């Protein structure tokens, strides 16, 4: 089983994804490699694990029994890896960090630079993603999201509030735009990928569809369209304020400014020296004026 764990990992990925292409994307390998590994696994076990349908790959009865068994094994392996890593006391090695596009491109870089000056032997591997990161499956060691609802197995702390304002190109004539004025302007909004953002919900309540010029799956996309004069976008202040090509054209209600920037890890990793160092560094450098006891590691509920 140990010798062929990678084959079982591919098996789990295909069972969860239902297609070769998506399983390959999730694993970071070619879909042809997924097919080859599954065929080899079935041949070695002399059993058919999947039905090949036009709609995708569906587990057979044998495949369902296999999935139940190897899922348990997978959880035990991930747990063992986290426990062993949690005993690491070296201030060196790699930390894999998962975060959003605007945090990763605009908010985090200066903090990473300062951290590297203090800890040059620690490598930060930063994954920019809009999907939820599963720390239990070791997809990352640390997540820095900008949403308050987190899985209850994570531990971490709030770093700072996430504040949005309305921005437009510097040459845009209007300013101090109020909600009752929104129908006089054109907007750049998130698409369905980020439909749940409070700012997106609020703006869409005050405009018609014809006011929407462009939508995008990332706020960084809206930022680039905005700075090229295509319309008004709701952006985090750490994105819009420093850009000399943008200006704030309106505030947004404080009642919808509910999201915070968090830093999170798995409980099994909290005593790993490099992870502990990074989390403590972020606490001290982001919240310098707050009392320390506010930021003790606590379980997210």
> If you average pLDDT over residues 259-278, what whole number do you get?
88
pLDDT at 194: 86
pLDDT for the residue 271: 81
**Domains in the chain: ranges and CATH:** 5-86 (1.10.10.10), 93-161+260-299 (3.40.190.10), 164-256 (3.40.190.10)
pLDDT at residue 76, as a whole number: 66
Chain segment 110-134, per-residue pLDDT in tens? 999 999 999 999 999 999 876 655 5
pTM value > 0.95: no
Q: How far apart are CA 246 and CA 235, in angstroms?
A: 11
Ranges 79-93, 192-206, 268-282, most confident: 192-206
pLDDT of residue 299: 40
Radius of gyration of the chain (CA): 23
The mean pLDDT of 98-112, rounded to a whole number, is 94
The per-residue pLDDT for range 285-299, each reduced to its tens digit, is 886 544 443 333 434
Tokens 């930021």 correspond to 295
């Amino acid at each position: 089983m140990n010798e062929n764990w990678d084959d079982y990992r591919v098996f789990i990925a295909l069972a969860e994804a239902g297609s070769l292409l998506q399983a390959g994307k999730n694993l970071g390998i070619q879909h042809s490699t997924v097919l080859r590994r599954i065929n080899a696994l079935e041949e070695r076990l002399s059993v058919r694990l999947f039905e090949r349908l036009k709609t995708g790959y569906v587990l057979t009865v044998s495949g369902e029994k296999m999935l139940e068994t190897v899922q348990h094994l997978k959880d035990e392996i991930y747990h063992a890896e986290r426990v062993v890593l949690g005993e690491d006391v070296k201030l060196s090695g790699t930390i894999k960090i998962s975060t959003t596009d605007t945090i990763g491109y605009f908010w985090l870089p200066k903090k990473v630079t300062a951290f590297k000056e203090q800890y040059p032997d620690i490598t930060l591997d930063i994954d920019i993603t809009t999907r939820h990161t599963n720390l239990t499956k070791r997809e990352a060691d640390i997540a820095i999201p900008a949403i308050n609802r987190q899985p209850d197995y994570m531990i971490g702390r709030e770093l700072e509030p996430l504040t949005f304002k309305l921005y437009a190109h510097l040459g845009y004539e209007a300013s101090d735009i109020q909600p009752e004025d929104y129908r006089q302007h054109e907007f750049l909004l998130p698409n369905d990928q980020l439909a749940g953002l409070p700012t997106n919900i609020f703006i869409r309540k005050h405009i018609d569809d014809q006011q929407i010029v462009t939508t995008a799956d990332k706020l960084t996309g809206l930022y680039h369209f905005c700075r090229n004069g295509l319309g008004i976008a709701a952006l985090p202040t750490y994105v819009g304020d420093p850009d000399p090509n943008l200006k704030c054209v309106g505030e947004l209600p404080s009642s919808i400014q509910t999201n915070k920037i968090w830093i999170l890890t798995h409980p099994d990793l909290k005593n790993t020296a490099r992870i502990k160092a990074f989390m403590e560094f972020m606490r001290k450098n982001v919240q310098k004026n707050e009392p320390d006891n506010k930021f003790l590691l606590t379980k997210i509920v």
